[in-house]
Every structure is written in C-alpha cells, then in structure tokens.
Structure 1
Amino acid sequence: MDKQKAALLSVFSNTALILFKLVAGVIMGSVSVISEAIHSGIDLLASIIAYFSIKQARKPADSDHPFGHGKFENVSGAFEAILIFLVAVMIIYEAIKKIITKGKIENIEAGLAVMLISAVVNLFISSKLFKVAKKTDSIALEADAMHLYTDVFTSFGVFLGLVVIKFTHIYILDPLIAIAVALMIIKASIDLTKKALCDLVDKSLPQEEIKVIEDIIKKYSQVTSYHKLRTRKSGDRREIDVHIRMENSTPLIDAHNLCNMIEEEIRKALPNSYITIHIEPEDEK
C-alpha cells in the first residue's frame, strides 16, 4: 500500500467512526462520547489534509519549487497539530459546562459498544498507517497515524469510564474522563508540532544518519579530508551537501567516478537522498 492510499483509508475509517460516536453520544447525552466524536472529526480533517499534502508533495520539482514539494508534508503535520490542540480546548470547555450543570447520561450500553469498536478499528488502521509512514518516511502520514493511535487510548479510556459509571452511577466521571482525553490530545499535539517544525526550520538529519554519511566518505582512501557537511529534510527527501578534498593529481574522470560511488552508497543506506558533492584539491585553504 502506498502512502496516498493509506491516507485515503484513514479518511474512510474516520468518517464511519464519527457517525457512530456522534449518534451514540447524542442519544446518551454523554460529553465524553461526544468529545470522542469531535476528536474523530478533527482526525477526519487531518486525514483529508494529509491525503492532499501527500499528493502535493509527490509532484516533481519545477521552476517555482526547484527542490521539490516535500515540505508540504511538514506544513500539513504542523497544521494538523494545531487542529488537535484546538479540539482539546473545546472538549475541556464542554466538560466543564457538564460538571456545572450536573447532567446525567443514559443508554450506556450504546456508548460501550461504540467505544470498543472505535478502539479496535483505530488500532488496526493506525498500525497500517505507521507501517506505511515508516516505509515511505512520510511525516504527514505519521502525524495521521499518531492521531488515530491516540484515539485508541482515548476511546478505551472512555469505555472503561462508562463501565465504572454504569455500576457506580457517579456521573461526574463522564466530564472528568473527557478532560483526561483532552489532556492526552494536547500532549500529542505538542509532540507533533515539534516534529513537524524541525524540518520546516531545516534542522540537520539525526546524528545517526550523519554518522552513516561520514563513515561512507571515510571508507574511500582517495578522499584526503571532507568539510562543510550540511544536511536537512524536506518531507521524505534528505538533502546532503558536502565538500571533499582529493590529491591534486587525481584525474577529473576518477574524481567524478568516485563521487558517483559515494552518492550511490549513501542512497542505498539512506533512501531518497539528494546529494551534492563539491571537489577541492588537497592544498586548497
């Protein structure tokens, strides 16, 4: 499954879950179940954004975007994180209102069924999305997967809360559970924002990946030294720029072939890498 199809699968699953949760929440008068419906609604919007950002990011480089469109995925991830934060604030507001009005809930069995089904479905879909995101190195799809994975815990948390309410009739647990759900959502939004912004501000590749690049360059005895190694990430694309020094007497064709070998080995170790190597004579200062 490619990442665009995976994003589309997320759109369909979220649409179905929203309908189930919303109907059950309204029938029950449960703010925790309705908060989960709202959460899934934001996830649906995030899935749609992820789908179109992935589609945009796949476009080849052009005159206006000479380095490609990969950062559309990073923008999508940051925007999704903001949406998640806003829905958490909205859930907390509704929960506080429910505490003040001291509302009761009915038909708890419907909520139990919907929450359990939701947790199982989201666990299955998020696992698939994480697998595709890791394979394709897609930040937008990873953000979408993280949303759904958060839903697994929040849905199961609401499920357990409803079980307790059913047997104890302590109805204030309903809005308290909703607030707990919201706090988990806020934590997820902060983590996603940090991850998305790292690439938007051109942070270097992780140290373990930089070490891979350095080890490959050092393997070649023809390279006397290297410097000005610069790296960054754009969507699933790694951009690598490095200056290497070689013996003054090295023929141009040999230098060219060596650069090709280094680039090919880096691409094998770090797929989807775009590499620029600048050659300098050994005695250049």
Structure 2
Amino acid sequence: MAEFLLKTFVKNYQETENTEVRKNVGFLSSITGIICNIFLFITKYIMGTFSNSIAIISDAFNNLSDCLSCIITFVSYKLAAQPADRDHPFGHGRIEYLSSLIIAVIIMLVGFSFLKTSFGKILHPGVITFSFITVISQLISIIVKIWMSSFNKHLAAKYNSSIMLATSKDSLNDSYITLVTLSSLFLSLVTTLPVDGIIGCLVSILILKTGYEIIKDTVDTLIGTKADEEVVQAITDLVLSYDDVIGIHDLIVHNYGPGKLICSLHAEVDSRREMLEVHDTIDLIEKQLYEKLNIMASIHMDPIEVDNPLVNHYKEMVGDIIKEIDPLLSFHDFRIVTGPTHTNLIFDLVIPHEYQNSTKELKNKIDTKIKLKDENLFTVISFDTEF
C-alpha cells in the first residue's frame, strides 16, 4: 500500500535524497495521517452518540487531537525544503530533527498522562461496562493505527526520516493504549482486579521509553555523532579509486539534515607529480562525490615523498612501534627534518576516543622505543582524534 501511494502521489519518489521529493513524501504522510484520524473521529463520534458512551466520544476527540502531529510533520517538511539563504547557508534540513523532538515531547506527555490515569484506576477502580459497539470501535482504531505505524515506518526507512519514524512510533503507542482499553473490557468479564490500571501502567512505561529513545537519538544527531560507516566507506572507495590519490586521512562528515552531508578530507598525493594536474583530479573527485553520493566535499592535497628511502625507512619503523603499542592507533603526514646532530620525525597521531592513556604518556612510550633504535631521533607529534 505504501509503495502504491508513493507511485500515485509522489513524482520521482525513488529519488530519496531529492529535497522536493522528501517534501512531497512528508505531505503524503501528513495528509494520510489527517485523513485516518478524521475517519476515526467520525466513526467513534457516531458510535459514541448512538450508544450514549462518553468514553467513545472522548476517544474520538483524542483522535482529532492526533491530527496535531500530522500538522507538525506537514509544516516541518515545508520549512525543511526551503533553499539555503544568507543566514542558513547549509539549508534548513535540521528542522526535521526539531520536529521529531516536538513529537517525542508529545509522546512523553501522553505517556505521563496515561500513567497518571492508569495509576488512579488501580487506587480507585471503576466499573467497566462491556459494550459490543465499544469493541468494534476499538478494533477499528487498532487496525487503522497499526497500518499508520507500518506506513510511516516504511517511509522512514526509505527516506531516512527521523520525524516519520517518530510519527510511526506515536501511532503504534496509540494502538497500545486502545489495546489496553479493549483488553480491560474482556478481562472485566472474568475478574474484579483493576487490570485496566495495571496494564495501563505497563503500557505507559513503554510509551515513555519510546519518547525518551526518540529524544535521545534526535539530540545525539543534533549534537553530532560519528559518521555512518557505510558513508565513510563509500567516500573512501570513491576517492581512492583515482590513481593520483595514495591515501586519505582527517575525513570529517557533517550532517545538516537528511540527505544533506558535507565532508572534508586530506588526500595524500605523490609530491613528484605535477600539482596542477593533481589539483584537476581533486576537483573532479569533489564533483563525483556530489554527483554520485550527494555529498559536498572540500579536499586538501597533502604531497608526500614516496621515493625517499630514508623517509620510508623511518616511516616503517614508526609504524611498527605504534602498532606494537596499540593496534588501534594510526598516523599520517609523516616527514623528517635532518640536521647535523639529530633528526626530527614529524607526524600526526590519531587516537581513538576510547584510548585511556594521556597524550604525554603515549609520547613517552613512543620516544622510549625510538631511542632504543637511535638516540639521535626525536619526535614532533601532533595528536588527532577520530571523527
């Protein structure tokens, strides 16, 4: 059904990184949610009126209020699709993350409210009246909400959308709440225990957990997380596919919203090559990164000596020492400066975030092992961290 709706209402829906396509998919998700919630509102309101059930009528207006999340999604995609401007040169894609936070807060508020109501029912259990019309109403609600959750989950996976994932979880939570009400109706026929309150508390905790997870994931993204391994590998493979590039380091990937990645990296090139020719290759790589991966890139050239036996000897020696100290360590930008009394080994050392020792301790270890090889060798180390 999701693919059918996409094919029918979204032009070029397969272009998952296209801003206009993402906006139209967001509109489709929002309008579908509004239609489903209005359908549930009308259905429950009519059933509640005919059965004179204030509970069903109240639930109907709850569905009407659920349209708020759909409207938030609608507005956020419209705002996120705005082009870059003077004040926001990287676009407005992160608005999607802010909207996910708003929906997560709504989920948390629903969870707290439902927990309070459920706990009250444990302390002061009321009489639950079984009604066939109520059962039909709740079953319809569960089916529609589960479909809405599945629909938005499919869109979230296809378009890497945090707000659609939040909407999916919101719909699933609504189905849990309705399922609690329905279960309570049947259990009321066989027990006098406040099962609706007990189950309600458990579901409330689940809803709160969902809201917390959405907030955590969204805040992590806004603060900045490590680049996705698949993205890093794709960038690395493309850059190294060019013969002029010997290696890369200092790769940094910035996320400015779904489908909006910007990266910078250092490309190691043979210092013997004509720099104007290599520069032309670097320009081509930047263009290819944008055309093939939709990533804007800024690449710095690092000319390195590849034919100097002395440099290669010391580089291999330092590599063996670093690997011996910790295989997780790596280095780059290796060069040497020779003098009449000593030789400086200059390089950048990349330290993993989980590395426990201080940089001072690490340098002392490296210096000690190098001095065992040659007392006239000194190190000049710049410490980097992984990005």
TM-score, normalised on structure 1? 0.83
Shift of 1:43: 4.1
Counterpart residue number, 2:93:
70
Counterpart residue number, 1:238:
261
Deviations 1:194-230 (A, max 9, x none): 2211221122322233233223333333112222211
The answer on whether the counterparts of 1:103 and 1:171 sit within 8 Å (CA) in structure 2 is: no
Counterpart residue number, 2:214:
192
**In 2 relative to 1, CA 174–212 (structure 1 residues): closer, same or farther, beyond 3 Å?**
same
The answer on whether the counterparts of 1:60 and 1:68 sit within 8 Å (CA) in structure 2 is: yes
**In 2 relative to 1, CA 122–250 (structure 1 residues): closer, same or farther, beyond 3 Å?**
farther
Q: Percent identity of the aligned residues? A: 23
The answer on whether the counterparts of 1:224 and 1:246 sit within 8 Å (CA) in structure 2 is: yes
The answer on whether the counterparts of 2:246 and 2:270 sit within 8 Å (CA) in structure 1 is: yes
Shift of 1:138: 1.8
| Paired letter, 1:6 | S
1:52 is aligned, of 62, 75, 81, to 75
- Aligned-partner Cα distance in 2 for 1:95–1:34: 16
Of 227-236 and 14-23, deviating more is 14-23
> Relative contact order (alpha carbons < 8 A, sep ≥ 6): 1 or 2 greater?
1
The answer on whether the counterparts of 1:81 and 1:193 sit within 8 Å (CA) in structure 2 is: yes
**In 2 relative to 1, CA 64–104 (structure 1 residues): closer, same or farther, beyond 3 Å?**
same
Deviations 1:58-106 (A, max 9, x none): 1111001101001101111112111211111111112222333321122
- Please state whether the residue corresponding to 2:85 is helix, strand or coil: coil
The gaps in structure 1 that reach 5 residues or longer are none
- Aligned-partner Cα distance in 2 for 1:18–1:171: 31
Counterpart residue number, 2:105:
82
1:260 aligns with 2:284: yes
The gaps in structure 2 that reach 5 residues or longer are 1-5, 7-24, 306-332, 336-387
Deviations 1:241-273 (A, max 9, x none): 2221222324535533444346535753x4x43
Residue correspondence of structure 1 range 1-285 to structure 2 within 5 A: 1=6, 2-18=25-41, 20=43, 24=48, 28=53, 38=62, 40=63, 43-165=66-188, 167-170=189-192, 172-236=194-258, 237-248=260-271, 249-261=273-285, 263-264=287-288, 268=292, 270=293, 272-282=294-304
- Aligned-partner Cα distance in 1 for 2:103–2:297: 30
Query: C-alpha root-mean-square deviation of aligned residues, in Å?
Result: 3.1
Shift of 1:185: 0.9
**In 2 relative to 1, CA 246–36 (structure 1 residues): closer, same or farther, beyond 3 Å?**
farther
- Aligned-partner Cα distance in 1 for 2:186–2:283: 64
**In 2 relative to 1, CA 257–18 (structure 1 residues): closer, same or farther, beyond 3 Å?**
farther
Deviations 1:26-77 (A, max 9, x none): 955669x968974x56643222212111111111110011010011011111
Larger proportion of strand: 2
Larger proportion of helix: 1
**In 2 relative to 1, CA 90–190 (structure 1 residues): closer, same or farther, beyond 3 Å?**
same
The number of aligned residues is 280
- Aligned-partner Cα distance in 1 for 2:70–2:276: 50
Shift of 1:171: 6.0
**In 2 relative to 1, CA 232–18 (structure 1 residues): closer, same or farther, beyond 3 Å?**
farther
Shift of 1:189: 0.3
**In 2 relative to 1, CA 158–211 (structure 1 residues): closer, same or farther, beyond 3 Å?**
farther
